[in-house]
Amino acid sequence: MKIITYNVNGLRAAITKGFTEWLTQENPDVICIQETKLQPEQFPAGEFTQLGYYAYLFSAQKRGYSGVAIFTKQKPDHVEIGMGIETYDNEGRFLRADYGDLSIVSVYHPSGSSGDERQRFKMEWLEAFQNYVLELRKSRPNLILCGDYNICHEPIDIHDPVRNAKNSGFLPEEREWMTGFLNTGFIDSFRYKNPAKQQYTWWSYRFNARVNNKGWRIDYCMVSEPMNSRISDAYILNDAEHSDHCPAVLEIKQ
């Protein structure tokens, strides 16, 4: 089973850059999308139906902002929209699809880069997200949490760890949260399969960052520990250029 996570930074914009053609070529079983930046009535459903995907979207109340989606070849047994926490659900950040005993989540963690208020919001979200997921894991132990976490965990995950040490996304408290979250029983699948590989999933649009590969690895396919033996591969598709992010892939044994 091939699962992709991809922050497309605007789904309609990505489509104009060849996203659907790329999706046909990659042919994942499930793709988790972040930053759809559209309302349900703006979604070109027919394009994805033709490719054989069921599409589930959770949009932010604010137009042109945030939003997550799951496109899946197999119809889920159940789809859960949001976490039941109004403050976060208003921003369209969490969507879950269940397949038998397996659950796949598309999640978009907030960015704190716009200032102190959003950084506080981010840290509060991280605590609420962890509490929600740990409770969910009691009834859905086989979890795959795909998405843009807006955090680089270790120095290997960022091009310049020294000069970015005070920037949102690589702050000590964010990295500590990530360590703690993994220690509750989750696996960073890319790092698990590639312990020494320095590869990124996001580049600033400024300063030719992508051309110079001055990037950050902030997009993850996290897997709960009971899924450990089912991880067959995890890798990053740096050549996909429909966004300032690129996709991360997880392949599991069914």
Q: Active-site positions?
A: 148
In the chain, beta strands by DSSP E? 2-7, 30-34, 54-58, 68-72, 78-81, 94-99, 102-108, 142-148, 186-188, 202-203, 215-216, 219-224, 231-236, 248-252
Residue 187 in contact with residue 228, Cβ under 8 Å?
Answer: yes
> Whole-angstrom Cα distance, residue 248 to residue 221?
7
Residues contacting residue 210 through CB under 8 Å, at least 6 positions apart: 203, 241, 244
In 15-141, beta strands by DSSP E? 30-34, 54-58, 68-72, 78-81, 94-99, 102-108
**Cα–Cα separations (whole angstroms), residue 183 to 123, 134, 220, 230:** 18, 12, 16, 19
Rounded to the nearest 5°, which phi and psi values hold at 109? -75, 145
